[in-house]
Chain A
């Protein structure tokens, strides 16, 4: 697996065909996801597959539509970056020589804080999936921060590319022609993808999954709709202003849960105060927070995708505002 990973990444870097490179990076993410699976990190694998292999590839491809397929040859010499990369690699190898053995149950990473997450997590948070427990409760504040990172990234793309709705939007038939197979398959697929998204959203406390993955999956369903049935139709389902609002609303749900804990007498993000039974409260809090994450991530991915697909090739308009 690792060898395949190395081969893929070298191929991706060396390729001047950016289209191929984007697909290779998709494969790279997928391989990483399988590696994570192999290490029993199901939740991480899931995220990597949904975000890395799925949405990132779509976004890279939409960027390529704007830039052009082939890379220009660089003029600057690779000497300095090579030295920097070499030193970094050397430092990492040096650091690894004293690292605990792989899979050592006595390693500090397993015996210090993780011990409590594993042994008491499900009991204290009321959710059987301890990854969700750590993410949404013990370190719920970090997760809030991560949602803000997603929020910032979504806004950043909107700000740089502009969100102005330009004329000349195409609906289905003009967009990719009347491809019957694509339309029928698309219709069926979208329903299942959305159903799966809902499952991942509300089942994250028992199995792998949660708001991040669900938001991305849901967005994928809409992106497929956009691609198959055209932007105009997709925009009718989800108007632009709403994708922007959804990011804010998702975040406000998360913050709201946190503030509710404060108003009920605990510190910020103390879910145990949300119900009379502290464990039930924890569980409820985690569900609500995951929902907020799902909404915000969906909004952010959609905003980013819209910002890219809203742009035409430079000859057709390009950055209208510079």
Chain B
């Protein structure tokens, strides 16, 4: 019986845990509950993906009403894979969060913090798993609201302003999305994604449908921080509590990109979107500019959390670039980079959280000599940095290899060169940190080793380790991403 209910359990576990965590009201118990819920959720998502790979698409009809009348959950290789990203990061962030949150969030708010984290997790999972465009919006709201609050909990007062900015921009994004859904409902009468994909091609010339497409794409691009709609991101990541930054950087924008993939390749898959409206070239241009601007701005940041945030904008550029090729290889590269970047950035921001806890600052100037004082954390940072650059034997290399392959498939030597060139900029910003941490002496000559607690080091090492493991043996992730891309392009023809 459990087996048949897997799709709903994926959401139900964190969703049930959230009000329970609120009722418990004690930091330790709420944390323990979040821990159990996140690991159970990970187990469910692994079981689900295995089932999808074995049997094909899994459908679950909520309330026993068949779609399109009721709401259905529909899991294929693509969202099964994204579910794993979210729940994996969730399961690793919760143990990491314990010490970090104790240091950064007030005691009497900690139980609320875990309630919010669980809600955010459920929201992101809900967006990913659903087969219904309006249901997606509902969970988008749950995840967005909880995200704003989580960001605002940062110690720095600027966290409040960052959260407020994001709230305004994020609300505009969500409103655009719902206007788009409304326009599509007006002209098709359906909210089900699969149903829409069937109905839309016949209406490709309808202006209401076209406007709907524009609103959907734009709304989700804001949430995904696609350049030039990324302005909310750097401050939000910089001032949020460390554990929150890890979770958001590794999951939130990825889920928005996933939703974007659904809109572009599933709902409008039957329409020759890329050709008809020049979306192809627009996205490609934006992606390339993002790769360069994000990386170059990152080089000049004094706050390393902010530097990593700008690097995220560049990395989202790589993902969008992959999608814009509109080929199986390109989309595979985009999807696999969702996973790879989540591992890399999650690990890097975890290193920042350790440094914030022990050294009290994540500014570059305060990092002198950290290579000696926090050897494990800095080693993890270097490994993560290598993956950002795309050095062989890391996941970053796998992603970039596929991107370049996709570019060459299209006969575009220029884009392949640009990918390599932008990676060289990543060398510059990673090297700045390495130089200060390893080759400069600590200001007070204090070289005694003081590391972060084991409960934070282990999750960090797991993520960094995974980003090396999947860099050496990428067959699993590439197979799944390839299957997902083939299914998407099969629909898109």
Contact = CB atoms under 8 A, between A and B. Distances in A.
B227 interface: no
Majority DSSP secondary structure for residues of A touching B = helix
A269 interface: yes
Interface in B193-217: 199, 206-212, 214-215
Interface in A138-167: 138-142, 145-146, 148-149, 151-153, 155-156, 158-160, 164
Given A155-B149, A247-B22, A148 B62 contact: no
Contact of B15 (A112, A139, A158, A255): A255
Interface in A238-275: 244-245, 247-249, 251-252, 255, 258-259, 261-262, 266-272
B126 A156 contact: no
A254 B126 CA distance: 17
B212 A149 contact: no
B185 interface: yes
A104 B303 CA distance: 58
A116 interface: yes
A98 B208 contact: yes
B60 A138 contact: no
A262 B69 contact: no
Interface in B68-82: 68-71
Contacts of B191: 113
Q: What bracket does the count of chain A residues touching chain B fall in?
A: 35 or more
A57 B246 CA distance: 38
B152 interface: yes
Nearest to A146: B138
Nearest to B183: A95
Contact of A142 (B64, B134, B199, B208): B134
B44 to A, nearest CB: 13
Contacts of A91: 211, 214-215
Contacts of B12: 255, 258-259, 268
Contact of B186 (A88, A99, A138, A139): A99
A100 interface: yes
How big is chain B's contact interface, by range?
Answer: 35 or more
* Interface SS of chain B: helix
B145 interface: yes
A251 B19 contact: yes
Point out which of B61, B65, B108, B186 has the most chain A C-beta atoms below 10 A from its C-beta. Answer: B65
A95 B187 CA distance: 10
B339 interface: no
B159 to A, nearest CB: 11
Contacts of A97: 207-208
Contacts of A95: 183, 207-208, 210-212
A267 B207 contact: no
B69 A113 contact: yes
A145 B115 contact: no
Contact of B142 (A145, A249, A272): A145
B153 A159 contact: yes
B8 interface: yes
Nearest to A139: B71
B292 interface: no
B190 interface: yes
B405 to A, nearest CB: 37
A91 B216 CA distance: 12
A149 B109 CA distance: 20
Contacts of B19: 151, 247-249, 251-252, 255
A111 interface: yes
Contacts of A98: 187, 206-209
A94 B214 CA distance: 11
A2 interface: no
Contacts of B176: 88
10 contacts: A91-B215, A108-B186, A108-B187, A108-B188, A111-B189, A113-B68, A148-B138, A152-B116, A248-B23, A268-B12
Given A152-B145, A247-B19, A267-B61, 13 more contacts: A107-B189, A108-B199, A110-B189, A111-B189, A148-B18, A149-B145, A156-B116, A156-B149, A160-B149, A244-B22, A259-B12, A267-B60, A269-B62
Interface of B: 5, 8, 12, 15-16, 18-20, 22-23, 60-65, 68-71, 106, 108-109, 112, 115-116, 119, 122, 126, 132, 134-135, 138-139, 141-142, 145-146, 148-149, 152-153, 157, 176, 179, 183, 185-191, 199, 206-212, 214-215
